[in-house]
Structure formats: structure tokens, C-alpha cells
């Protein structure tokens, strides 16, 4: 594995925190979280939510709420619309979203009114007393119901239908022909249920208009610059009058990408009441404001008798809830779902997707997903296992047979991606060896003899990240490049700023390492600052694992720009021509004269004390527009034991071999993988935002929506292979989302493999004890001989 060497790798790897305890930008408060920020004369805001999933609003009575001591105001859609801020654009640009319910509510817990008060308690008391007169309407609780257009959910839109969009890619007729000519075709309906990111800290904000009328907006945002530009679009305030500051987020996982109604209401309150307004989401608000996934997919996978893949066809129905709040790039309404051909060679492929409105939370919001890659990866990896089972092949051998080979990169897929690099077979081999596959197979055969249910599940996924190349990718028209700024101080210390925003990914450490490696300086002496639009260069933020592929590239190139300037100063110091210098062992050395050298530290000092004829100072700003995406990959293997009597699954082992290209910091990468695997485990076995037929949300808190603790979580084994990205400045790919993208299929494949002697072919997630038990019982009832 290649990894970046820094002068003090041990110190960095031990995670000695370079982070300040208290960020000087937040000195008004006591800490760095949003709820620690308390401004003078601050008011609090609480929201009123609809108990109905679909209802007309006949009237809103605020008199009783205004009787509460400390009550300041109640705002409804009427007031917002009077000021032209009744609706806000969703990042995808295909839809807009009500800030407060206007005329009718479209999902349970939708925001109906905002209450402002002197204290937090008073604000919540007010919210209890706002009386809303609802007239319930017929509910559309599935996209399949929505298709009929019997109930039109969004009369505000020009197109009078619940159908939002159709997206398709590939060769439809060629794929159909290849499927009919195939020896064998797998046909399976597979659902990726609705799940939620559930960061430890919910969202929140503090909005203040200062004495100069400038908006200071403290907010939990993964993309502060996008927020600033979107606020300019919504409120019409020019960007010099808006400062967006994103403090420590307490986790984001995609949940802190969208602009939520609460933010707009807090700003509106601050504007009207001329006092700062704080809003902190409750857990239930966080659970009910957005969701991810909810894809209903039909796959057809064709193969010849020997297991050679011939064609792939996918038809998906997507439930987007009441508003299409996806933050996908504008030309990609279904995100990167086209990665559904995975790590395999398909001569023909076609993917089709139709998205619908339903009476549910705004949908398609990110959750550790790289824009719909999680759904795509789960689908193809699940289907490959079904095919292996049908053909009686070993699932790892079926994969190996169909892998894109190492020498085929750059590889053009039939669904319009050009994969940059990869060595799938090597990664698979490393994983098989490390897990001891042959021994596991032997053990499994013995257990099956005894009627015990042991399963081995694979996922050999390809991920796509690093949006992206500006000719293809934009959010609200803003191209998705990223900026980096580096300033080196006279002592050789420095400050690094990027337009990304860490939520716990450790940019404070890895950004310093990238720059330190390029310049031969001490990473401990770099201050890394993100999240303040007044100081950070423009960037599209941190999601879709784009930070290392895009901002990481910007940082390396900005550092190289500094090195070129430093070379001139070094030439002055050594009294030679800059062409006589080489960069060797982290210093400038006169070619052919070993020992005649100056370090970057010496150059930094000279840049401010003795620059010669050169421009003084040592700093650079650079915007990086990547030529392509990066394509990390991995092989994950789960080993499970299923209890035949109770349906309980025990994940006995889980091995993740990830290839993220050049590794910057192995410990951070391992932490990212552990976290993402734990999320994937939760999705596979316990999490779902379910609704009943009446549209009631059944998972609005952590007793109904389970988050695993260390007690439930399996032990994670990890390893790495390294295929550098050929176009990334340091060869790095990403890792942040890979474990969530790759792992659900490995878990489910393992459980189905365990149940395969009973003839079980597929169970949709989450694989709860009840569901698995029912599948075992049904299978045993069907064929008592299986016992």
C-alpha cells in the first residue's frame, strides 16, 4: 500500500489532535457546536408540525400561543409568501420546496408555523398552542399508488402529474436482444428501503443581522458556500452581505447537505424581529425532515451457461416524497446510478428510472451514498449472487470471470462512465487469502451436513466519487470544482483553507499531511480551517466523498505552486540558477553538489526576510477542476451464522479490503471504514423508515429507528490494496462512503447464502430476526425434506 510519508508519521498516525479546543471564531459561546453559540439578545424558535400526512389547512389560530410569557411572534406561510420567501429551491434544481406548508400539508411532521420567544421553553410552549384546522385528504403512501395520478399531490407544478422525471441511459434494444439470446436470465425485484443518516447532533442554526445589516448565519452545513449562494438566490441578499459559518457539525453523513425550512424561518425571524434567532432541531425533527434511498428496482441479468455476463437491464421506481430534495448534480437526477454495471464487463446494459411524489418527507436526500451509488452497488452485487446460485457457481469465481481486467483501464462502461483504474482480481485474491476462504467453505459444508445455517457473502463493488469535472457536474448551476488556499508563515508554519467542510472525516489532519508532504514542512504546524465563507476559498463542500478527489487535488497543486515560487527564492539563497536546483529529500539541492541545499523552512524565512528580486511572501490559491471522477473499489466478505429456531443472525467475521488509491492517513481511513461498515450493518439488519398505509411515519426516534452501539456491532477486519488514480495529483481516491456503499450487499448475500439450502432466494432489507425467521419457516413449510 502506498501511503504519504510525512516527517512525523507516527505522531500524526497516533491521531495527536492538531485541533484547537476552542475555535476563536466562536468566542461568543462556550464551544464549537451550534448549540454552544449564544448571541446577545438571542431569541429561540420552535416549529409547529402537521400530524396529518395530507390535509388542507383551513385556518391557523395563533392567539393562545401569543399569550405565553416571552412570546414574540408566530410566522406562517402567508407572511413568508408576502415577502417572497414561501418556497426555496432544492439543490437539484428540478423542484422547489415549501418553507412552511402553504394551503395544504404534504407529509406528516411537515413544518406549518414558526414560533419565536425569549426562551427555548416558551418557544416550545407556543408551538403546542398554535391551533391549526386541518381537513384530511386521501393519502398516497407508495409510488405505485402515485402512478395512477388519482390523487394529484403537487398542483403547484406545471405538469399535473405525480411523475417527477424519467431518466435512462444505455442501449435499450441491444440489451433486450442480448437478454433474449442469453442462456440464463436472473429476474428479481429488489428494494433498498428508506433510511436516514441520523447524525449524533441534529441540525441547527443561529441567524443574526448585525449592525451593518449583514447576515451572520451560523449553521450546520456540509457545504457553506453553496448555502451562501442559495441564500442569495432565495432572499435576494448579495453575497457580501452574507457570512455563512459552519461550526463542528457533530456528524453529517449527508443529512447536513440540504437547506431546511427551519433555517429560512430562523433568518426570517431575525430579519423581522431584529434580534438573533436560534433554532436547534429535535431528534424527531431530524428524523422526519428528510430521508434517503427508497428505490424499488427490477433487475434482469443475462449470462451464458458458463457464467459470462451478456446483458444488464434495470427498471427502477423511486419514491421521492413530497418534494424532490435530492442534491444530485443537475444533469444527473438519479445521481450516479449508472454505476450499476459495477466491477463487471457487460456487452449491453440499460437502466431506466421513474421518480414519483408521495405523501412522505422530502426525499432523495444524501446518506453516505455518493449520489445513489449505494442503491446501484447493492443491486448488482445482490443479483450476482443470485446468478451464481442459479448457475451453481462459486460467487467469487463468477465475479472473477466477469471482472474488468487490470489492463482494460481506462474502461468505458456501457452506461457512460470511464473508470480510471483498478485491479479487482488482486483485491479479491487478497481478501480470499486473508479470510481463509477455502477453510470457510469446508466448515460450511460440514455445518450444512448437520443442518446448521452458515453463510459467506461477497461484495466486490466499484464506487464513483469526486464530482467533479465541471463540464458534467454542477449544483444550482455552480460548477463542482474546489478551491484551496495555503499561506506559509516565516517560521515554516502555515494556514490551509479549503471550500470543503469536515464533519468528522479528519481534514484537519489529512489536509496538513498533503501540504506537508509536498513542501517538506511539519504537518503539526499547519492550522486547517474550513467552514467560514468569509475566509475559505469557494468550494462545493463535503459530500459524495468528493473532498480528497477534488479539494485534496487542489491542495497538492496549490502546494506545488508554492514550491515553484520557493525554488526561485532557493536559487537566490544558493546563488545559482533555479534550473540548477532539484527537489530532493524535501529540500532544494544544487544538482551534482550533494549537501549544497536549503530546506523549505529556510526558504519560508527568506521569503519574508531576504527574497532577493523575487516577490516577497509564500502563498497560493488554486482551483482544481478534475479531469474525471475517481473509482475506488473493494472486496468485502461477511461470514454469518443464522439461528434456525429464532432467525437471529450473528456476523461472525467481516473483512473489508478497500482500494482507495494512495492513502494519506491509514488510521483515518480505517476509522472511516469502521464507521461506514457499522452504518451498513445497521441498514442491512435493523433500520428502516417505514410508513403505514395511512401515511403515518413509524420511525421518528431512536427507539423505533435503531442505531447500533459497540455491543451490537461486529468486529471489523480491514486491509488495503493500492491502485493509484492516474489523474489525481497524488493518486488518491476516496474512502468516506465506500464502506456504506459496499457492505449492505455482503451482509445480505451472507444471510441468503446461509438460507440457500432451504431454497430462499432473496429477502429485502432490513433482515430483522422476524423476517429471517419467517423466511425459514415458509421455506420449511414448502419443503419439509429440507430438514
Question: What residues contact residue 378 under an 8 Å CB cut-off, 6+ apart?
Answer: 190, 192, 744, 745, 748
506 contacts ligand MCN (rule: CB under 6 A): yes
Pick the closer one to ligand MCN by CB: 402 or 510: 510
In the complex, minimum distance from the CB of residue 395 to ligand MCN, in angstroms, rounded to a whole number: 27
φ, ψ (nearest 5 deg) of residue 390: -60, -40
Residue 221 phi, psi (nearest 5) = -130, 135
Q: Is 260 in the site for ligand CUM (CB under 6 A)?
A: no
Length of the chain measured in residues = 787
**Least distance from ligand MCN to the Cβ atom of residue 306, Å:** 37
Residue 661 lies near ligand MCN (rule: CB under 6 A): yes
For the chain, how far is it from start to end, CA to CA, in angstroms?
47
Instruction: For 168, list phi and psi in degrees, rounded to 5.
Output: -150, 160
Name the region of 321 (left: φ>0; alpha: ψ -120 to 50; beta: rest): left
**Which C-beta is closer to ligand CUM: that of 335 or that of 724?**
335
Residue 257, binding choice from ligand CUM, ligand MCN, none, Cβ under 5 to 8 Å by partner class: ligand CUM
503 part of the interface to ligand MCN, by CB under 6 A: yes
8 A C-beta contact, residue 596 and residue 603: no
How far is residue 123 from each of residues 43, 128, 569, measured CA to CA in Å?
9, 9, 61
Of these residues, 222, 444, 505, 687, which one is catalytic?
222
What Å distances lie between residue 382 and 388, 742, 747, CA to CA?
A: 10, 11, 10
Candidate list 367, 623, 716, 747; residue touching ligand CUM; CB under 6 A:
367
Stretch near ligand CUM under the rule CB under 6 A, chosen from 250-258, 283-291, 450-458, 620-628: 250-258
Is the bond preceding 766 in cis, omega lying within 30 degrees of 0? yes
CB of 249 to ligand CUM, least distance (A): 10
Taken in order 735, 741, 744, 750, is the CA torsion positive or negative?
negative
The verdict on 278 binding ligand CUM (CB under 6 A) reads no
Between 99 and 480, name the residue whose CB sits nearer to ligand MCN.
480
Positions in 725-784 near ligand MCN (CB under 6 A): 732-737
- Rg value, the chain, Cα: 27
Ranges assigned E (strand) in 220-343: 242-245, 277-280, 292-303, 309-319
Burial of 135 (0-12, 13-18, 19+ CB in 10 A): exposed
Binding segment toward ligand MCN, per CB under 6 A, in 117-125, 182-190, 428-436, 539-547: 539-547
Least distance from C-beta 632 to ligand MCN, angstroms? 8
Q: Residue 421, interface with ligand MCN (CB under 6 A)?
A: no
Q: Closest approach of Cβ 246 to ligand MCN, in Å?
A: 12
**Catalytic residue flag (residue 115):** no
Tell me whether residue 142 or residue 672 sits nearer to ligand MCN (CB atom): 672
339 contacts ligand CUM (rule: CB under 6 A): no
Cβ atoms within 10 Å of 166's Cβ, excluding its own: 11
Half-sphere exposure of 343 (CA within 13 A, CB side): 33
388 binds ligand CUM per the rule CB under 6 A: no
Decide which of ligand MCN, ligand CUM, none touches 431; Cβ closer than 5 to 8 Å per partner kind: none
What span, in angstroms and rounded, lies between the C-alpha atoms of 52 and 109? Answer: 7
Contact between 368 and ligand CUM (CB under 6 A)?
A: yes
Of 576, 609, 610, the C-alpha closest to 591 is: 576
| Total of chain residues touching ligand CUM, rule CB under 6 A | 12
260 touches 323 (CB < 8 A):
no
Strands (E), 77-183: 87-89, 96-98, 104-105, 111-117, 131-136, 163-170
Among 400-408, 485-493, 542-550, 570-578, the segment contacting ligand MCN (CB under 6 A): 542-550
Distance separating alpha carbons of residues 513 and 600, to the nearest angstrom: 15
Stretch that binds ligand CUM, among 7-15, 247-255, 398-406, 741-749 (CB under 6 A): 247-255
Interaction with ligand CUM in 32-61: which residues (CB under 6 A)? none
> Which is nearest to 657 in space by CA: 2, 15, 1?
1
Residue selected from 277, 369, 657, 684 as contacting ligand CUM according to rule CB under 6 A: 369
CB closest to ligand CUM, residue no: 254
Q: Which is nearer to ligand CUM, 252 or 675 (CB)?
A: 252
Judge whether 653 counts as a catalytic residue: no
Least distance (Å) from ligand MCN to the CB of residue 217? Answer: 20
What sign has the CA pseudo-torsion 209, 213, 218, 223?
positive
Q: Which is nearer to ligand MCN, 111 or 517 (CB)?
A: 517
Among 143, 224, 250, 254, which residue sits at the site for ligand CUM (rule: CB under 6 A)? 254
Of positions 253, 263, 586, 685, contacts ligand MCN by CB under 6 A? 253
What is the sign, positive or negative, of the torsion defined by CA atoms of 373, 650, 505, 706? positive
Q: Of all helices (H) and strands (E), which one includes residue 624?
A: strand 619-624
Nearer to ligand MCN, 538 or 773 (CB): 538
Which residues, 541 to 560, sit near ligand CUM by CB under 6 A?
543-544
Provide the 8-state DSSP code for 405: P
* 228, 243, 368, 382: the active-site residue: 368
Nearer to ligand CUM by Cβ, of 588 and 705: the residue is 705
Q: Check if 369 is active-site.
A: yes
Closest separation in Å from C-beta 253 to ligand CUM: 6
The yes or no reply on residue 91 touching ligand CUM (CB under 6 A) is no
75 part of the interface to ligand CUM, by CB under 6 A: no
Asked whether position 293 contacts ligand CUM by CB under 6 A, the answer is: no
Identify which range of 42-50, 248-256, 549-557, 753-761 contacts ligand CUM by CB under 6 A: 248-256
User: Given the complex with ligand CUM, which of 281 and 389 has the nearer CB atom?
Assistant: 281
Instruction: State the nearest-atom distance from the C-beta of 419 to ligand CUM, in Å.
Output: 20
Candidates 59-67, 68-76, 134-142, 655-663; binding stretch for ligand MCN (CB under 6 A): 655-663
Omega of the bond leading into 759 within 30 degrees of 0 (cis): no
Choose the binding region for ligand CUM from 360-368, 391-399, 529-537, 590-598 (rule: CB under 6 A): 360-368
**CA 221/CA 654 separation, integer angstroms:** 33
Which of 278, 507, 567, 568 is close enough to bind ligand MCN by CB under 6 A?
A: 507
672 forms part of the interface with ligand MCN (CB under 6 A): yes
Closest CA to 293 of 741, 623, 686, 671: 741
Kindly give the interhelix angle for 395-402 and 373-391, rounded to the nearest 10 degrees: 110
170 Cβ contact partners less than 8 Å away, ≥ 6 residues apart: 338, 348, 349, 350, 351, 414, 415
- The correct pick among 62, 145, 221, 222 for binding ligand CUM (CB under 6 A) is 222
Closest CB 653 distance from ligand MCN, rounded Å: 23
Q: What are phi and psi of 229, to 5 degrees?
A: -70, -40
Q: Which is nearer to ligand CUM, 222 or 289 (CB)?
A: 222
Of 343, 396, 421, 542, which one interacts with ligand MCN (CB under 6 A)?
Answer: 542
Q: Catalytic site residue 582?
A: no
Instruction: Provide the 3-class DSSP secondary structure of residue 189.
Output: strand
Which segments within 141-203 are labelled E, that is strand?
A: 163-170, 184-195
Instruction: Pick out residues in 448-477 that bind ligand CUM (CB under 6 A).
Output: none
Residues 6+ apart with CB under 8 A from 63: none
What part of residues 188-207 is at the interface with ligand MCN (CB under 6 A)? 199
- Residues forming contacts to ligand MCN in the complex (CB under 6 A) are 199, 251-254, 368, 503-507, 510, 542-548, 660-665, 668-669, 672, 675, 732-737
- Residues forming contacts to ligand CUM in the complex (CB under 6 A) are 222, 252-254, 257, 366-370, 543-544
Please identify every residue annotated as catalytic: 222, 368-369, 737
Amino acid at each position: 500500500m502506498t501511503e504519504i510519508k510525512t516527517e512525523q508519521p507516527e505522531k500524526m498516525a497516533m491521531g495527536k489532535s492538531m485541533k484547537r479546543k476552542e475555535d476563536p471564531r466562536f468566542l461568543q459561546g462556550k464551544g464549537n457546536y451550534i448549540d454552544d453559540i449564544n448571541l446577545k439578545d438571542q431569541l429561540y424558535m420552535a416549529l409547529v408540525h402537521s400530524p396529518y400526512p395530507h390535509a388542507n389547512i383551513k385556518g391557523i389560530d395563533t392567539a393562545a400561543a401569543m399569550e405565553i410569557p416571552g412570546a414574540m411572534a408566530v410566522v406562517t406561510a402567508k407572511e413568508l409568501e408576502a415577502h417572497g420567501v414561501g418556497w426555496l429551491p432544492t439543490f437539484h434544481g428540478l423542484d422547489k420546496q415549501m418553507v412552511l406548508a402553504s394551503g395544504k400539508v404534504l407529509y406528516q411532521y411537515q413544518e406549518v408555523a414558526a414560533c419565536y420567544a425569549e426562551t427555548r421553553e416558551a418557544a416550545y410552549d407556543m408551538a403546542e398552542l398554535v391551533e391549526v384546522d386541518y381537513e384530511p385528504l386521501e393519502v398516497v403512501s407508495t409510488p405505485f399508488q402515485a402512478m395512477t395520478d388519482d390523487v394529484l399531490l403537487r398542483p403547484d407544478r406545471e405538469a399535473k402529474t405525480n411523475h417527477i422525471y424519467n431518466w435512462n441511459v444505455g442501449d435499450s434494444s441491444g440489451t433486450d436482444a442480448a437478454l433474449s439470446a442469453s442462456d440464463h436470465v436472473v429476474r428479481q425485484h429488489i428494494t433498498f428501503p428508506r433510511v436516514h443518516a441520523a447524525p449524533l447532533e441534529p441540525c441547527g442554526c443561529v441567524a443574526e443581522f448585525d449592525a451593518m445589516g449583514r447576515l451572520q448565519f451560523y449553521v450546520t452545513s456540509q457545504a457553506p458556500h453553496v448555502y451562501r449562494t442559495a441564500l442569495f438566490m432565495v432572499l435576494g441578499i448579495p453575497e457580501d452581505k452574507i457570512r455563512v459559518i459552519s461550526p463542528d457539525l457533530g456528524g453529517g453523513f449527508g443529512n447536513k447537505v440540504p437547506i431546511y425550512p427551519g433555517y429560512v424561518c430562523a433568518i426570517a425571524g431575525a430579519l423581522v424581529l431584529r434580534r438573533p434567532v436560534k433554532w436547534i432541531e429535535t431528534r424527531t425533527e431530524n428524523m422526519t425532515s428528510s430521508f434517503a434511498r427508497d428505490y424499488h428496482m427490477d433487475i434482469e441479468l443475462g449470462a451464458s451457461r458458463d457464467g459470462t455476463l451478456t446483458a444488464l437491464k434495470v427498471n427502477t421506481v423511486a419514491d421521492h416524497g413530497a418534494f424532490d430534495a435530492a442534491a444530485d448534480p443537475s444533469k444527473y437526477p438519479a445521481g450516479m446510478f449508472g454505476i450499476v454495471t459495477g466491477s463487471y464487463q457487460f456487452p449491453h446494459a440499460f437502466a431506466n428510472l421513474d421518480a414519483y411524489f408521495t405523501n412522505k418527507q422530502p426525499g432523495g436526500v444524501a446518506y453516505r451514498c455518493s449520489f445513489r451509488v449505494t442503491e446501484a452497488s447493492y443491486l448488482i452485487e445482490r443479483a450476482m449472487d443470485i446468478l451464481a446460485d442459479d448457475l451453481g457457481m462459486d460467487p467469487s469465481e463468477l465475479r472473477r470471470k466477469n471482472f474488468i481486467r487490470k489492463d482494460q483501464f481506462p474502461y468505458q462502461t456501457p452506461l457512460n462512465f470511464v473508470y480510471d483504474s483498478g485491479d479487482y482480481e488482486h483485491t479479491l485474491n487478497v481478501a480470499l487469502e486473508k479470510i481463509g476462504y477455502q477453510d470457510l467453505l469446508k466448515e460450511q459444508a460440514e455445518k450444512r451436513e448437520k443442518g446448521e445455517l452458515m453463510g459467506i457473502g461477497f461484495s466486490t463493488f466499484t464506487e464513483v466519487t469526486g464530482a467533479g469535472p465541471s463540464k458534467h457536474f454542477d449544483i444550482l448551476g455552480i460548477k463542482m470544482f474546489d478551491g484551496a488556499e495555503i499561506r506559509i508563515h516565516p517560521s515554516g508554519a502555515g494556514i490551509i483553507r479549503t471550500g470543503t467542510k469536515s464533519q468528522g472525516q479528519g481534514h484537519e489532519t489529512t489536509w496538513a499531511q498533503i501540504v506537508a508532504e509536498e513542501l517538506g514542512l511539519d504537518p503539526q504546524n499547519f492550522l486547517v480551517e474550513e467552514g467560514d465563507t468569509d475566509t475559505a476559498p469557494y468550494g462545493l463542500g463535503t459530500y459524495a466523498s468528493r473532498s480528497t478527489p477534488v479539494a485534496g487535488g487542489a491542495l497538492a497543486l496549490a502546494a506545488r505552486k508554492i514550491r515553484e515560487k520557493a525554488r526561485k527564492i532557493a536559487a537566490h539563497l544558493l546563488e545559482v540558477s533555479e534550473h540548477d536546483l532539484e527537489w530532493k529529500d524535501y529540500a532544494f539541492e544544487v544538482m551534482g553538489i550533494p549537501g549544497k541545499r536549503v530546506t523549505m523552512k529556510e526558504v519560508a524565512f527568506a521569503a519574508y526576510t531576504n527574497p532577493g528580486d523575487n516577490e516577497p511572501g509564500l502563498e497560493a490559491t488554486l482551483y482544481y477542476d478534475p479531469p474525471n471522477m475517481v473509482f475506488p473499489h473493494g472486496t468485502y466478505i461477511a461470514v454469518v451464522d443464522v439461528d434456525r429456531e429464532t432467525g437471529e443472525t450473528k456476523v461472525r467475521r467481516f473483512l473489508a479490503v478497500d482500494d482507495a488509491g494512495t492513502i494519506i492517513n491509514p488510521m483515518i481511513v480505517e476509522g472511516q471504514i469502521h464507521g461506514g461498515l457499522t452504518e451498513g450493518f445497521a441498514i442491512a439488519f435493523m433500520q428502516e423508515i417505514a410508513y403505514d398505509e395511512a401515511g403515518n411515519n413509524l420511525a421518528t426516534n431512536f427507539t423505533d429507528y435503531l442505531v447500533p452501539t459497540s455491543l451490537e456491532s461486529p468486529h471489523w477486519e480491514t486491509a488495503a490494496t493500492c491502485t493509484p488514480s492516474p489523474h489525481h495529483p497524488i493518486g488518491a481516491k476516496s474512502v468516506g462512503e465506500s464502506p456504506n456503499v459496499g457492505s449492505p450487499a455482503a451482509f445480505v448475500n451472507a444471510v441468503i447464502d446461509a438460507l440457500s439450502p432451504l431454497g430462499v432466494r432473496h429477502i429485502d432489507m432490513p433482515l430483522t430476526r422476524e423476517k429471517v425467521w419467517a423466511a425459514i419457516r415458509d421455506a420449511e413449510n414448502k419443503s419439509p425434506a429440507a430438514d
